[in-house]
C-alpha cells in the first residue's frame, strides 16, 4: 500500500506558521530533495552555517503560487469530487476548494500535513489522524461508505481503497487519498449534503460542525470560531474566493 511520506522532527522556521506549512508540504511529498535541510533543527543548522539558507528556502516555499503550494495534484480527490459532483449536481472544483481543502486546512491546524496526529491524545487508539483527523471508527465507517458508493455506481474501487485493512489508520493513506475518502464519506453520510453548501443554503462552517466535527457540544462555539479563523487564513494565503463571491 502506498503511504504518505513521513516528516522529520520539528524543522527550522522564523515563525510557527511557516514551520507548520513547510512540514505539511514535506508530508505531502513536495520538494523531497530539500527534506534533509528543512528537517534540521535551528541549533544544528546554525552550527553548520545553514540557518540563513534554510530560512530563505522557507520563504521561497511559502511564497510559491497557490497551485504549487496547494494540493494541485490530487487525482484521487478529483475523481471522487467528479463522481460526487455529478451525483449531487455540484461543481467538482467547488467540492475540492470550498469544502475539502478548508476542512483539511483546519483539521491539520493549517499545515496540510497528512501525518499529523491529534494533540493531547497519546495512547488513545481512537485519536484523530491525518489531514481530516479521522478517528479510527470514522475512518473505517468512511471506508465502508466509499466502497458502498462505488459499488452502487458500478465503478471499480481504486487499489488504495481495496487495500484498507481492519487495522489500518488514516495516515496509511496519502493526503490525496485521505481527501478522496472524505469526499466519498460525506456523500454517503446520512445528513451531509454538499449541494447545500454549493447552493448557499448552508455555510461551510456549519457543514463541518454538523457533519464532521465530533467534539463535546459545550465546545461548539469555540470550535466554530477556530474553524472560521482557519477558513479566513486559508482563503487569504491561497487566494481562494469566499463563497459570497462564487455563488
pLDDT at 52: 60
Q: What average pLDDT is seen over the chain?
A: 79
Distance CA 220, CA 239 (A): 28
Q: Are 180 and 76 in contact (CB under 8 A)?
A: yes
Q: Per-residue pLDDT averaged across 27-56, rounded?
A: 53
pLDDT at 101: 96
Please say if the pLDDT value at position 16 is more than 70: no
pLDDT in tens, 120-171: 655 566 789 999 999 999 999 999 999 999 999 999 999 999 999 999 999 9
Distance CA 97, CA 26 (A): 21
Q: Per-residue pLDDT averaged across 81-109, rounded?
A: 96
Cα angle, residue 25 at apex, residues 244 and 58 outer, rounded to 5°: 100
Please say if the pLDDT value at position 7 is more than 60: no
Q: Per-residue pLDDT averaged across 7-22, rounded?
A: 40
Percentage above 90 pLDDT, the chain: 59
Q: Read out DSSP for 105-146?
A: HHHTTTS--TT-B-TT-TT-TT--BTTTTB-HHHHHHHHHHH
pLDDT at 22: 43
pLDDT in tens, 174-212: 999 999 999 999 999 999 999 999 999 999 999 999 999
Residue 194 CA to chain centroid, in angstroms? 17
Q: Per-residue pLDDT averaged across 100-120, rounded?
A: 90
Higher per-residue confidence, 66 vs 246 = 246
Higher per-residue confidence, 51 vs 130 = 130
3-state secondary structure of 190: coil
Please say if the pLDDT value at position 14 is more than 80: no
Percentage above 70 pLDDT, the chain: 66
pLDDT at 118: 85
The three three-digit cell numbers of residue 181, written as one number = 475518502
Amino acid at each position: 500500500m502506498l503511504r504518505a511520506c513521513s516528516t522529520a522532527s520539528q524543522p527550522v522556521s522564523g515563525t510557527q506558521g511557516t514551520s507548520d506549512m513547510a512540514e505539511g508540504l514535506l508530508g505531502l511529498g513536495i520538494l523531497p530533495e530539500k527534506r534533509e535541510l528543512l528537517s534540521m533543527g535551528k541549533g544544528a543548522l546554525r552550527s553548520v552555517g545553514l540557518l540563513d539558507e534554510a530560512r530563505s528556502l522557507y520563504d521561497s516555499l511559502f511564497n510559491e503560487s497557490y497551485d504549487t503550494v496547494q494540493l494541485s495534484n490530487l487525482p484521487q480527490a478529483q475523481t471522487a469530487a467528479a463522481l460526487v459532483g455529478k451525483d449531487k449536481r455540484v461543481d467538482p472544483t467547488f467540492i475540492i476548494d470550498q469544502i475539502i481543502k478548508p476542512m483539511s486546512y483546519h483539521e491539520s491546524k493549517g499545515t496540510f500535513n497528512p501525518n499529523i496526529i491529534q494533540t493531547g491524545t497519546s495512547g488513545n487508539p481512537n485519536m484523530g489522524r491525518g489531514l481530516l483527523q479521522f478517528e479510527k471508527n470514522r475512518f473505517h465507517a468512511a471506508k465502508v461508505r466509499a466502497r458502498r458508493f462505488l459499488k452502487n455506481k458500478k465503478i471499480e474501487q481504486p487499489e488504495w481503497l481495496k487495500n484498507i485493512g481492519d487495522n489500518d489508520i488514516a495516515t496509511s493513506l496519502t493526503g490525496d487519498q485521505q481527501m478522496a475518502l472524505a469526499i466519498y464519506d460525506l456523500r454517503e453520510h446520512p445528513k451531509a449534503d454538499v449541494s447545500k453548501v454549493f447552493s448557499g443554503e448552508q455555510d461551510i462552517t456549519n457543514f463541518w460542525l454538523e457533519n464532521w466535527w465530533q467534539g463535546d457540544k459545550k465546545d461548539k462555539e469555540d470550535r466554530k470560531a477556530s474553524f472560521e479563523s482557519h477558513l479566513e487564513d486559508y482563503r487569504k494565503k491561497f487566494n481562494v474566493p469566499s463563497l459570497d463571491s462564487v455563488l
